[in-house]
């Protein structure tokens, strides 16, 4: 296995690293303290990213994370846009996870559109900034329990319901909303709909105050007889009982590796900064026999090995998506491993660095706060382990709950 970064992506990775070091980190603390204030600096960065992606076969944005590929390349092994996006996110999140989530036209809803939209919809929503709305007051990890409804009325769907914890919910141009066409048919009737901001009946009811990622707005949105064109239903409008929930769940196969990549980035930032702060009391390097290591060195080495395992799982899940391989199990494995590692690593780095880790003079304490959400959204740790068990054992959701 060749595990180095593909040569064609090295320039992109270096650009992302420079953005993290010289663009995100200098404003990171400012927007952590000014929660809900939009980072105006991101407009310039978003325009730059648009220019990088325009016409590029291997783009770096969330809207490029798709399992689709051209006919002539469908038989070839390739390193594509899912892998490049994950590599870019890993570097950007060494700077600031919240600022990445606040970047225009790079919302998780863009990855959802890329995952399930048809060609006409991909063209129509190109350049739009899309948030993703799944969670409801009575429905968290169990996405199949969604109560928001979509009723066909002539040439429009009418949406009714409430969504909470919508990342970029108030700033994005549109929101990808999960809703059911028929509650009696269960999860097979759940579809995703693109609802542009400003549509009558769609209201942002509040912005949440959060533990971390404060540069990113997190909204609650209600839908009351909200009418959208029937063409805004992503993918196939038919209800397929046999396929069940698989259609919209393909979204997670694309977005979970992206969230895992965020976790890899913030954990790497904490590890690197801890090594810098602890350099005066660390040994000479990795050549020291394990039994001669101090507790501090042993802890750092163990965290680095866990980080590397999570990184490789994430790259594998993204690579499988690029090559149109079923990657549901691998996407959940990457998300579970990386999300938990990021939590453990950032908190232990705070502990190892003592007062420097706990003080706002360093970004370590902020990275620890930011990392927690990465173990929660896009499916909690417990849900990921349940999905992995189902895939390994060949059980359905009704057989293994």
Active site residues: 378
Structure tokens at 97: 């996870």
Query: Measured between alpha carbons, how far is 127 from 118 in angstroms, rounded to an integer?
Result: 16
CA pair distance 390, 384, nearest whole angstrom: 10
Three-class SS state of 173 = coil
Instruction: Give, in degrees to the nearest 5, the angle at Cα 174 between 168 and 178.
Output: 90
Tokens of 93: 């999140």
Question: Strand pairing of 174-180 and 130-133?
Answer: parallel
The pairs formed by 295-303 with CB atoms below 8 angstroms and a separation of 24 or more are: 296/352, 299/348, 299/352, 300/271, 300/274, 300/275, 300/352, 303/267, 303/271, 303/341, 303/344, 303/345, 303/348, 303/349
DSSP helix/strand/coil, 265: helix
3-state SS record for 42-88: HHHHHHHHHHHHCCCCCCCCHHHCCCCCCCCCCCCCCCCHHHHHHHH
Contact 338, 227 (CB under 8 A): no
Query: In whole angstroms, what is the distance from residue 355 CA to residue 366 CA?
Result: 14
Residue 356 buriedness (CB in 10 A; 0-12 / 13-18 / 19+): middle
Closest CA to 102 of 129, 134, 122: 129
């Amino acid at each position: 296995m060749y595990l180095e970064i593909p040569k064609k992506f090295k320039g992109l990775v270096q650009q992302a690293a420079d953005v993290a070091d010289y663009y995100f980190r200098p404003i990171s603390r400012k927007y952590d303290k000014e929660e809900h204030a939009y980072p105006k600096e991101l407009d310039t960065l978003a325009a730059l990213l648009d220019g990088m992606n325009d016409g590029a076969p291997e783009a770096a944005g969330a809207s490029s994370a798709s399992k689709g590929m051209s006919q002539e390349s469908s038989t070839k092994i390739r390193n594509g846009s899912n892998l490049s996006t994950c590599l870019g996110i890993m570097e950007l999140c060494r700077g600031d996870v919240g600022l990445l989530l606040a970047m225009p036209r790079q919302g998780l809803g863009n990855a959802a559109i890329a995952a399930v939209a048809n060609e006409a919809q991909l063209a129509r929503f190109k350049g739009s900034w899309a948030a993703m709305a799944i969670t409801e007051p009575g429905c968290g990890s169990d996405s199949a329990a969604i109560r928001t409804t979509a009723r066909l009325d002539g040439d429009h769907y009418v949406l009714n319901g409430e969504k909470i914890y919508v990342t970029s919910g108030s700033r994005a141009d549109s929101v990808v909303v999960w809703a059911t066409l028929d509650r009696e048919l269960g999860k097979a009737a759940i579809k995703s709909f693109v609802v542009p901001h400003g549509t009558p009946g769609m209201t942002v009811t509040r912005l949440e105050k959060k533990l971390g990622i404060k540069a990113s707005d997190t909204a609650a949105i209600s839908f009351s007889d909200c009418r959208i064109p029937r063409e805004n239903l992503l993918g196939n409008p038919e209800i397929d009982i046999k396929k069940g929930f698989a259609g919209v769940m393909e979204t997670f196969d694309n977005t979970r590796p992206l969230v895992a990549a965020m976790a890899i980035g913030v954990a790497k930032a904490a590890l690197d900064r801890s090594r810098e702060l602890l350099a005066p009391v660390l040994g000479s390097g990795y050549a020291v026999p394990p039994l001669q290591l101090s507790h501090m060195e042993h802890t750092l080495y163990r965290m680095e090995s866990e980080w590397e395992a999570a990184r490789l799982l994430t790259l594998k899940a993204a690579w499988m998506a690029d090559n149109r391989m079923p990657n549901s199990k691998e996407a959940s494995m990457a998300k579970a491993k990386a999300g938990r590692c990021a939590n453990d690593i950032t908190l232990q780095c705070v502990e190892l660095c003592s007062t420097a880790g706990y003080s706002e003079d360093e970004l370590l304490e902020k990275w620890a706060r930011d990392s927690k959400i990465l173990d929660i959204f896009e499916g909690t740790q417990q849900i990921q382990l349940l999905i992995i068990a189902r895939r390994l054992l060949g059980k359905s959701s009704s057989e293994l709950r």
